Amino acid sequence: MQIQFIGAAQTVTGSMHLIKTNESTFLLDCGLYQGKRKEAYELNRTFGYFNPKEIDFVILSHAHIDHSGNLPTLVKNGFEGNIYTTFATRDLCTIMLQDSAHIQERDVEFVNKKRKKLNKNLFEPLYVLDDALETLKKFIGINYHFEFKITPNISVTFYDAGHILGSSIVYLKIKENEKIYHLGFSGDLGRPNLPILRDPEIIPSVDYWISESTYGGKTHQNPLDSEKQLEEIILKAIKNKSKIIVPAFSVGRTQEIVYALHRIFDRNEKDRIPVYVDSPLAVNATEVFRLHPECFDNEANEFIHKNEDPFGFNKLIYVKNVDDSKKLNDISGPCFILSSSGMAETGRILHHLANNIENPNNIILIVGYAAENTLARKLIDGQKQVNIFGDPYNVNAEVIVLDSFSAHADSDELLNYTNTLDKKSLKKIFLVHGEIEQQNIFQKKLLSHGFQNVEIPKRGQIENI
């Protein structure tokens, strides 16, 4: 058996790992690489290490675009197999892949207008809506904890990763040459005590563990403090009549923030300010969240019994229409505007940042991970001037980073989870989905705690098992 690490190898995005057995060739995840646009386009367009027609099936850990977003390209290039995942992930992908196709088409159209004027070769979108729709036909939903036989010799079981709705830790049993291999893939591992979702579940012992390492060298603020910190920012906004501009991922982070605001305003009615969720995808994703209370933790379910809708309250407005989005430019603070994308690379958030970033009264609130070279990362790093739509803007607004809302396990939480694995059975750990500096720190941490054979694979590296 072989594992080849193709995406999210010494980088955070583009999760994709190829596994070959005597009888099958399959992928764990098929995500979009996000980074410098020219590099990202080339990496996403050509798979390089394999022919999509030779892939028998895909196992998908969760719906985030850096894990699922290149599935339509796979299908466009000849993949005909099934995609196995949880029911909630399937439902989220129904809206997210269509939205991604729309973004591909829109972005290429915008770039090609400029290239046409310069007599340069025109780009094609990675995929279009028809490719996304064809991909959705291939999804097969599986319940958590149910061992599903994909082939006579390969079975998969999904355990809750506690990262986003439907996210899973993948547990594989693979029989080859009369021997059974147990392989675990963390996907993106969530954190204990996050709002709404259950904590990450413990899986049975494994021989090989493929672990994310996004925050392998960092510790987060306590998630139990997140509401208090958010409440303090609201009080500051009320005092200064600030607009709070929040680049937020449409799936997961937006719903967590809305849920936290609901709880805050329930406790302090006088501090309630207008809240706008300006993202068509976030609006649709919230509807999917409402359909899957089986993924919620006990606290969230108790809150639902007291409040009919955990994602709706007085002064909360979901914005779909473009004209209504533009009207937000004219409103005065205090108010709260959540908009995608979370890394501030595409979408309506760019317009809100352009209109508000130079006002020193305003607050830009960063509540999620931002990859290198993205606009959100530049704001986190304290750059005083940034480009938006190609134009320079001075960063006069206050930038606040609230990592207590992070849905990724931090260094200590990753270690605590890894410690639940049986060291006697564990032959090797592979660290993926992390920048190399974070991975090096986490590798040393694991080795110092008695783990052996901890490797950080490079892109394209093959491991024979």
Q: Which residues contact 381 (CB under 8 A, 6 or more apart)?
A: none
Longest dimension (CA), the chain: 69
Q: Answer yes or no: do 398 and 430 share one domain.
A: no
The range of the structural domain enclosing residue 342 comes to 223-405
Q: Which residues contact 231 (CB under 8 A, 6 or more apart)?
A: 264, 268, 271
> Which domain CATH number covers 78?
3.60.15.10
Q: Answer yes or no: do 136 and 231 share one domain.
A: no
> Which domain CATH number covers 329?
3.40.50.10890
Distance CA 240, CA 217 (A): 36
Q: Answer yes or no: do 214 and 252 share one domain.
A: no
Mark 70-94 as b/e (b = at least 16 C-beta within 10 Å): bbbbbbbbebebbbbbbbbbbbbbb
Single pTM value for the model:
0.89
Q: Decide: 167 and 212 in contact? Cβ < 8 Å.
A: no
Distance CA 428, CA 384 (A): 44
Could you tell me the CA-to-CA distances from 440 to 294, 323, 432, 443 in Å, in that order? Answer: 37, 47, 11, 5
25 residue type, one letter: T
Q: Answer yes or no: do 184 and 256 share one domain.
A: no
pLDDT at 48: 87
Could you tell me the CA-to-CA distances from 344 to 122, 136, 250, 387 in Å, in that order? Answer: 25, 27, 12, 11
pLDDT at 304: 79
pLDDT at 70: 97
Q: Answer yes or no: do 50 and 38 share one domain.
A: yes
Residues in the chain: 465
Q: Answer yes or no: do 85 and 172 share one domain.
A: yes
Q: Answer yes or no: do 105 and 27 share one domain.
A: yes
Phi and psi angles of residue 360, each rounded to the nearest 5 degrees, phi first = -65, -15
Q: Is the dihedral of CA 320, 324, 327, 331 positive or negative?
A: negative
Which segments within 335-397 are labelled E, that is strand? 335-339, 363-366, 385-388, 391-394
Can you give the pLDDT of all 465 residues of the chain as single tens digits? 999 999 999 999 899 999 999 999 999 999 999 777 778 888 899 898 999 999 999 999 999 999 999 999 999 999 999 999 999 999 999 999 999 998 888 878 877 887 788 888 888 889 999 999 999 999 999 999 999 999 999 999 999 999 999 999 999 999 998 899 999 999 999 999 888 899 999 999 999 999 999 999 999 988 888 899 999 999 999 999 999 999 988 888 899 999 999 989 988 877 899 999 998 888 899 899 988 988 999 988 888 777 767 788 778 899 988 899 999 999 998 999 999 888 888 788 999 999 999 999 999 999 988 878 889 999 999 999 999 888 899 999 999 999 888 889 999 999 999 999 999 999 999 999 999 999 999 999 999 999 999 999 999 999 999
Q: How many domains are there within the chain?
A: 2
* Torsion (CA) 140, 146, 147, 151 in degrees, nearest 10: -20
* Torsion (CA) 15, 20, 26, 30 in degrees, nearest 10: 20
Last residue of a domain, one of 385, 405, 425: 405
Q: Answer yes or no: do 31 and 50 share one domain.
A: yes
Q: Answer yes or no: do 311 and 460 share one domain.
A: no
Q: Answer yes or no: do 248 and 324 share one domain.
A: yes
Q: Answer yes or no: do 342 and 424 share one domain.
A: no
Distance CA 6, CA 429 (A): 16
Residue 415: CB atoms within 10 A of its CB come to 17
Burial of 167 (0-12, 13-18, 19+ CB in 10 A): buried
